Amino acid sequence: MTTLIIIAKECIPGRVKTRLHPPLSLEQAASLASASLADTFRAVSAVAASRRILLFDGNLFPLGSEPYDVIHQVSGNLDRRLGAIFDECEGPTVLIGMDTPQLDAAMLAPLFDEWPVDADAFLGFAVDGGYWTIGMAKPDGSLIRGVPMSKDNTGKLQLERLTAAGLRVRMLPELVDVDTIDDAWLVAGLAPQTEFARTLASFDLTSSQPEISR
């Protein structure tokens, strides 16, 4: 069985999704982040995880986290935080972020139905060059620590780190990681049934909506 980790931050105005401000207010950005996390919880609720971990930065645990073991993130850059939690886990382990509310559980099915014997790791690239998920059959934080994060080639560098260690890597679908308002409109269009899309639509943001989405 596979351990599922969601890495998330407490949705406090001014601390989450600040690149959405403007056109969003800081309060709206936090509300949208909260909706994204709620959609992520719902999307993975059907996967058969042997253990669920919320790797959390904050104090007030979000709704939907009740089935999760909450572990606070260690200090340091993102690569160190991810590496630390992988070192704490045993057996197949998969980590996802909270910024891809269009996620469908079917995308993760190969990792939770039964880990494939011909794959040592999984990786899902994000459109911005990063990655939205990483999984390892034998979790090893040293394969994440030192990879530059939040760069336009982070995903490529992470893939190179895994393959250089001799791991057979299977790729998952590329997703849009919501960082900017254009990302938000795109994801809302891709997944209009989500709380994320409904929350975004509730804001008076007509002037910021791309023509293609109107």
Residue 206 pLDDT greater than 80, yes or no: no
- pLDDT classification of 1: cutoffs 50, 70, 90: confident
Q: How confident is the model at residue 213 (pLDDT cuts 50, 70, 90)?
A: very low
pTM comes to: 0.95
CATH topology of domain 2-213: Spore Coat Polysaccharide Biosynthesis Protein SpsA; Chain A (3.90.550)
pLDDT in tens, 47-105: 999 999 999 999 999 999 999 999 999 999 999 999 999 999 999 999 999 999 999 99
Residue 183 to residue 66: CA distance in whole angstroms: 29
Average pLDDT taken over every residue of the chain? 95
Tens digit of pLDDT for each residue in 100-122? 999 999 999 989 988 999 999 99
Please check whether residue 205 is in contact with residue 23, taking contact to mean a CB–CB distance below 8 angstroms.
yes
State what percent of residues in the chain have pLDDT above 90. 93
Spatial contact of 122 and 168, defined as CB atoms under 8 Å apart: no
What lies within 8 Å, CB to CB, of 107 at 6+ separation is 124, 172, 173
105-112 and 26-44 helices, crossing angle to 10° = 50
pLDDT (0 to 100) of residue 210: 63
Domain boundaries, the chain: 2-213
Q: How far apart are CA 206 and CA 21, in angstroms?
A: 15
**What is the identity of the amino acid at 113?**
D
pLDDT digits (tens, 9 = 90+) for 18-30: 999 999 999 999 9
pLDDT of residue 214: 43
What are the pLDDT digits (tens) for 173-192?
999 999 999 999 999 999 99
Query: What pLDDT score does 113 carry?
Result: 85
What is the pLDDT, as a whole number, of residue 212? 46
Give me 132's structure tokens. 């939205």
Q: Residue 205 has what pLDDT? A: 79
